Amino acid sequence: MLVGYANGYASSINGTEMLYKEVECTAMGAPCCRCIGRPAKDWAEDESHVRFYSVAELVPQGSRKTGSDASNTGSGSEPQIVVGVSPAFRAARDKLEKVAGIDATVLLEGESGVGKEMFTSTLHA
């Protein structure tokens, strides 16, 4: 189950940070996939789950942008920090790091909003 989408959607609708956790999965032998959603503050008994979704845990202090700076995707001189944990994301980031040091043409493809501009600013940094 893609709980990241549920986290973002429910947080937007409720106006507070919501976190979902998959507790059963057909891939693990359960009869159906099942997830639980709660406000982030109510996950105190499972602190590791809350930390997994925390931006502060992923981005070094002092390097996060706020306000209008956060929407600036590469027109400034400071490179964007590209953060991700999925295997597909790590593979893309590894390829980006390999090609960043050489003079090569790179084509980035993907749906709108997946981070192509952040990859581009990292590539040109």
Q: Are residues 62 and 98 in the same domain?
A: yes
Torsion of the alpha carbons at 124, 91, 47 and 57, rounded to the nearest 10: -20
Closest CA to 116 of 86, 82, 66: 82
Helix (H, G, I), strand (E, B) or coil at 20: strand
How far CA 13 is from CA of 91, 104, 123, in Å, comes to: 33, 43, 35
Tell whether the model's pLDDT for residue 9 goes beyond 80.
Answer: yes
pLDDT of residue 34: 93
Tell whether the model's pLDDT for residue 66 goes beyond 60.
Answer: no
The whole domain housing 21 covers: 1-53
Tell whether the model's pLDDT for residue 76 goes beyond 60.
Answer: no
Q: Are residues 68 and 123 in the same domain?
A: yes
Domains: count for the chain: 2
Report how far residue 124's alpha carbon sits from residue 61's, in angstroms, rounded to the nearest whole number. Answer: 23
Q: Are residues 43 and 69 in the same domain?
A: no
pLDDT digits (tens, 9 = 90+) for 84-119: 778 888 888 888 888 887 877 788 888 888 778 888
Q: Are residues 122 and 64 in the same domain?
A: yes
Q: Are residues 18 and 78 in the same domain?
A: no
How far CA 117 is from CA of 21, 68, 80, 91, in Å, comes to: 30, 16, 9, 17
Confidence of residue 24 (pLDDT cuts 50, 70, 90): very high
Pairing assessment for the beta strands 18-24 and 34-39 based on DSSP bridges = antiparallel
Share of the chain above pLDDT 70, in %: 73
pLDDT of residue 42: 87
Report how far residue 99's alpha carbon sits from residue 89's, in angstroms, rounded to the nearest whole number. Answer: 16
Q: Are residues 40 and 82 in the same domain?
A: no
Tell whether the model's pLDDT for residue 74 goes beyond 60.
Answer: no
Q: Are 10 and 37 in contact (CB under 8 A)?
A: yes
Q: Are residues 33 and 47 in the same domain?
A: yes
